DNA sequence: GTTCTAGAAC
DNA sequence: GTTCTAGAAC
């Protein structure tokens, strides 16, 4: 409509908006904040917005959904809207890994620069801030915060320019942050900043410098005495306070007391290839030495927390370590663990120096705990110790009692190279010693609470490491979970992304990319109602194992031409195995035809064989073998599950009903059905998942899972007659 | 398959 | 106030 107007003014009016638009376009910026909770992202953006003459929009995931935590998608939308409005945007979420950042980077354009401001402050500072703050918008408070921050920092990938940033500013301390606030606050509407990466000291450092220096204080035994630092330390440290002080990390040039725990609690043969592969956390008793926490109470808490976490740590194990075999706490815990019948292959006690468990005790522990005493004041342990502590604690001064800090060890560190320790978890317990700071004055209510928190944080940290290892292993099974000595196994490959050693070569097999399906249609399944569902990536692991069992050697109990036998990763009973068919294309029961009967019989036979083997070890076990009508995991698999259903992994109605309704099809019945009708009759009915919870023996109904579980642990009724027929149950001959 | 968490149920 | 479930996200 303006096109016909010809006066000068009007021409100018026509051109002006275009020009203004261009100008506006140029001035938009995305500043992506990168940092853990507590690193000060929100404060940073607020401080900039206070002084800036630009128009900023802060996109904060913690508050985006009407003040509550929202989704990444919501953030993307708000950012897009703001950019369309020619505003500049702060992306205020952690953005700690490349994947999380990638979608926001796509919002960049020739007119919109994307900057990163990395708030790479000491982990302790972030943790203590997150723990302390109340009413934080993201609701990340209290003890949980420490675990969350730890987990996040472990996965941290610092941003690089090649991701698409035009400028990256690294802030390693408060002063850097102040500078960056000034820089961005002073940025006028049309100003630009030089491109490039600023402020990063060591591009590949994942570990805080202070802690790296701290760790370097661990020297091999033969040269530690030459090191004036450790000499001083061992001289000046009160032997009675060894455990709580950082002396755990000073080399102890002594052989005394380095011996395996000779007492009754069984310790799996250390040093064998098998045990080397088990993620293991060695930890001292927290707070019982220098912090004078009551030993009896402490031992109860250790047992309580060990029991709580034993199921969460997957294939990992926990080892309580003390220097002397006469240790009271060690003996208390040992007796209680025996009384409680705790699996001694997953938790045991060990006598030795926690920094030399592998070289002096033959016990490989990839993670060790340091019962920290960050608050050690100068009089505590001599100048060297003071410096070390200060460095490790950074500007924040301390970690909070009850919290833990996971520190990955550089591969160059002695602990890593010599002992195979890949992580140290620092944990601070409650103090009952009036001679030490923050004494709780015999307040054991509070003390026990903090000690529980401390163990929770410690075990949580370890759980997270185990999880990461397992994930890495699943992603690339040729990368061993083992870390002994990890420097020999994966350092180069991690750096260069190649595997050339012979042991890895032989697993390479045919040129099939792991995780990439050969046939796209094979990831789909036809459900009963004629719809097609896609198998999610998490649902593919059994298929992968069945196709390449050698790659998963240590997770597999048996490999034959027909089947692979393995322990269910999340057992729903004391014993829960899977017999997985190896035939490609047999995803589930609907794919089974008469020609597969021999295979089904083979699966049944292998399942019975394993059930009988387990029964011979534990005659009270009773097994049922069967298939799920609509399995979640791809690749036909037979469940061999003991009927106690005593497992922490059995958590909800669906878990129960998949094993205790018609959804569960007994192997014997399936084979009979196929023989008769040519295929299995499925009970793929969603409503079966929501039927009331009934005891598998007396068939009584129960209102919820905890009540049901408590009932089945006591119910002594015989199995119902239908289960006792046709060999549906495998049980010990009486 | 699990984890996380809001809100229902108690 | 605490326990438990169910649904979304992964």
Query: Looking at chain A, which residues constitute the CATH 3.40.50.300 domain(s)?
Result: 28-198
* Distance from CA(A408) to C1'(B4), angstroms, rounded: 26
| pLDDT of A145 over the 70 cut | no
As ranges, strand B nucleotides with an atom below 7 A of a protein CB are 1-3, 6, 10
**Reported confidence tier of residue A133, pLDDT bands at 50, 70, 90:** low
A486-533 pLDDT, tens digit each: 332 233 233 222 222 223 322 222 322 233 333 333 355 554 444 456
Q: Find the nucleotide nearest A689 (Cα to C1′).
A: C6
pLDDT of residue A405: 78
CATH 3.40.50.300 for domain A28-198, yes or no, is yes
Residue nearest to nucleotide C9 (CA to C1'): A71
**Range with the lowest mean pLDDT among A51-55, A229-233, A288-292, A376-380?**
A376-380
Strand C contacted by A471 CB (< 7 A): no
Mean pLDDT of A369-391: 46
Strand C contacted by A536 CB (< 7 A): yes
pLDDT of residue A718: 95
Mean pLDDT of A354-371: 87
Which of the two residues, A128 and A547, has the higher pLDDT score?
A: A547
As ranges, strand C nucleotides with an atom below 7 A of a protein CB are 3-6, 9-10
Q: How would you classify the pairing of strands A637-642 and A622-628?
A: antiparallel
Q: Across the strands, what pairs with A362?
A: none
**Max avg pLDDT among A221-235, A302-316, A412-426:** A302-316
Q: Find the nucleotide nearest A705 (Cα to C1′).
A: C4
Strand C contacted by A71 CB (< 7 A): yes
| pLDDT of A381 over the 60 cut | no
CATH 3.30.428.10 for domain A539-730, yes or no, is yes
* Distance from CA(A651) to C1'(B4), angstroms, rounded: 14
pLDDT of residue A373: 67
Rounded distance, CA A706 to CA A656, Å?
Answer: 11
Hits for CB < 7 Å against strand B across A residues 703-722 = 703
**Reported confidence tier of residue A127, pLDDT bands at 50, 70, 90:** confident
pLDDT of residue A303: 95
A571-590 pLDDT, tens digit each: 999 999 999 999 999 999 99
Residues A280-472, CATH architecture? 3-Layer(aba) Sandwich (3.40)
* Cβ atoms A651, A705 nearer than 8 A: yes
Hits for CB < 7 Å against strand B across A residues 51-90 = 68-69
A196-241 pLDDT, tens digit each: 888 876 554 333 322 222 333 333 333 333 333 333 333 333 333 3
Q: Is A316 helix (H, G, I), strand (E, B) or coil?
A: coil
Hits for CB < 7 Å against strand C across A residues 700-729 = 703-707
**Max avg pLDDT among A2-11, A213-222, A269-278, A347-356:** A347-356
Residue nearest to nucleotide C10 (CA to C1'): A538
**Reported confidence tier of residue A688, pLDDT bands at 50, 70, 90:** confident
* Cβ atoms A313, A345 nearer than 8 A: no
Q: What are phi and psi of A473, to 5 degrees?
A: -65, -45
* Distance from CA(A77) to C1'(B4), angstroms, rounded: 24
Q: Which of A424, A416, A542 is nearest to A488 (CA)?
A: A416
Question: In chain A, pLDDT over 90 holds for what percent of residues?
Answer: 36
Query: Looking at chain A, which residues constitute the CATH 3.30.428.10 domain(s)?
Result: 539-730
* Cβ atoms A120, A205 nearer than 8 A: no
Which of the two residues, A22 and A480, has the higher pLDDT score?
A: A22
* Distance from CA(A56) to C1'(C6), angstroms, rounded: 39
Which of the two residues, A394 and A611, has the higher pLDDT score?
A: A611
Tell me whether residue A457 is exposed, middle or buried, using C-beta atoms within 10 angstroms of its C-beta: 0 to 12, 13 to 18, 19 or more: buried
**Reported confidence tier of residue A636, pLDDT bands at 50, 70, 90:** very high
* Cβ atoms A575, A642 nearer than 8 A: yes
pTM of the predicted model as reported, rounded to 2 decimal places: 0.39
| pLDDT of A333 over the 90 cut | yes
A267-282 pLDDT, tens digit each: 444 444 345 568 999 9
Rounded distance, CA A621 to CA A618, Å?
Answer: 6
Strand B contacted by A444 CB (< 7 A): no
pLDDT of residue A515: 32
Q: Find the nucleotide nearest A707 (Cα to C1′).
A: C4
Rounded distance, CA A160 to CA A170, Å?
Answer: 11
* Cβ atoms A131, A403 nearer than 8 A: yes
Mean pLDDT of A137-155: 62
Hits for CB < 7 Å against strand C across A residues 607-666 = 652-653
Rounded distance, CA A705 to CA A694, Å?
Answer: 10
**Reported confidence tier of residue A476, pLDDT bands at 50, 70, 90:** low
pLDDT of residue A598: 95
């Amino acid at each position: 409509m303006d096109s016909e107007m010809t006066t000068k003014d009007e021409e100018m009016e026509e051109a002006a908006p275009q020009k203004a638009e261009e100008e506006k376009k140029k001035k938009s910026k995305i500043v992506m904040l990168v940092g853990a909770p507590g690193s000060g992202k929100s404060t940073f953006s607020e401080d900039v917005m206070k002084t800036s003459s630009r128009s900023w929009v802060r996109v904060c995931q913690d508050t985006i959904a009407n003040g509550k935590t929202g989704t990444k998608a919501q953030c993307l939308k708000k950012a897009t809207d703001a950019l369309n409005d020619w505003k500049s945007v702060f992306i205020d979420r952690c953005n700690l890994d490349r994947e999380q950042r990638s979608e926001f980077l796509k919002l960049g354009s020739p007119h919109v620069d994307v900057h990163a401001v990395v708030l790479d402050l000491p982990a302790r500072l972030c943790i203590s801030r997150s723990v302390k703050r109340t009413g934080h918008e993201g609701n990340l408070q209290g003890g949980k915060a420490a675990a969350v921050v730890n987990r996040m920092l472990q996965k941290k990938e610092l941003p690089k320019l090649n991701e698409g940033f035009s400028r990256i500013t690294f802030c390693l301390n408060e002063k850097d942050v102040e500078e960056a606030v000034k820089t961005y606050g002073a940025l006028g509407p049309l100003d630009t900043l030089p491109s490039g990466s600023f402020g990063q000291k060591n591009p590949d450092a994942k570990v805080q410098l202070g802690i790296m220096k701290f760790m370097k204080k661990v020297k091999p035994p033969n040269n530690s005495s030459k090191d004036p630092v450790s000499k001083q330390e061992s001289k000046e440290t009160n032997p009675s306070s060894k455990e709580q002080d950082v002396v755990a990390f000073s080399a102890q040039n002594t052989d005394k007391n380095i011996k395996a725990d000779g007492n009754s609690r069984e310790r799996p043969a250390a040093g064998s290839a098998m045990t080397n592969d088990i993620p293991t956390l060695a930890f001292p008793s927290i707070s019982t030495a220098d912090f004078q926490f009551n030993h009896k109470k402490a031992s109860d808490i250790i047992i309580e927390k060990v029991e709580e976490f034993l199921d969460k740590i997957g294939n990992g194990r926990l080892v309580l370590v003390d220097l002397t075999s006469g240790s009271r706490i060690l003996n208390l815990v040992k007796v209680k663990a025996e009384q409680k019948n705790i699996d001694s292959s997953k938790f045991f006690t060990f006598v030795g120096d926690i920094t030399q468990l592998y070289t002096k005790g033959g016990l490989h522990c990839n993670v060790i705990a340091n019962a920290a005493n960050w608050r050690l004041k100068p009089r505590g342990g001599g100048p060297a110790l003071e410096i070390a502590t200060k460095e490790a604690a950074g500007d924040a001064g301390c970690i909070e009692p009850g919290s833990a800090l996971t520190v990955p060890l550089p591969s160059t560190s002695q602990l890593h190279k010599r002992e195979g320790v890949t992580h140290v978890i620092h944990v601070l317990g409650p103090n009952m010693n009036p001679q030490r700071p923050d004494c709780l004055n015999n307040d054991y209510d509070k003390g026990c609470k903090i000690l529980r928190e401390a163990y929770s944080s410690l075990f949580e940290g370890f759980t997270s490491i185990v999880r990461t290892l397992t994930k890495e292993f699943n992603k690339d099974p040729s990368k061993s979970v083992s870390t002994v000595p990890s420097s020999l196994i994966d350092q180069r490959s991690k750096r260069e992304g190649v595997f050339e050693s012979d042991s890895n070569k032989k697993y390479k097999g045919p040129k099939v990319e792991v995780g990439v399906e050969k046939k796209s249609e094979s990831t789909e399944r036809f459900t009963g109602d004629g719809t097609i569902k896609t198998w999610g990536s998490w649902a593919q692991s059994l298929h992968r194992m069945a196709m390449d069992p050698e790659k998963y050697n240590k997770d597999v109990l048996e490999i034959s031409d027909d089947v692979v036998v393995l322990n269910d990763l999340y057992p729903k009973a004391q014993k829960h195995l899977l017999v997985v068919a190896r035939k490609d294309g047999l995803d589930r029961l609907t794919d089974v035809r008469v020609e597969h009967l021999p295979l089904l019989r083979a699966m049944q036979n292998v399942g019975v064989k394993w059930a009988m083997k387990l029964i011979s070890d534990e005659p009270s076990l009773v097994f049922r073998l069967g298939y799920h009508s609509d399995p979640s995991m791809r690749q036909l698999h037979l469940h061999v599950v003991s009927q106690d259903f005593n497992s922490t992994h059995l958590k909800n109605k669906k878990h129960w009903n998949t094993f205790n309704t018609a959804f569960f099809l007994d192997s014997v019945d399936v084979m009979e059905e196929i023989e008769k009708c040519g295929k299995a009759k499925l009970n793929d009915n969603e409503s079966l998942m929501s039927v009331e919870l009934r005891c598998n023996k007396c068939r009584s109904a129960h209102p919820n899972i905890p009540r049901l579980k408590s009932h089945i642990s006591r119910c002594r009724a015989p199995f119902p007659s239908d289960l006792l027929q046709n060999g549906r149950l495998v049980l010990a001959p009486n």
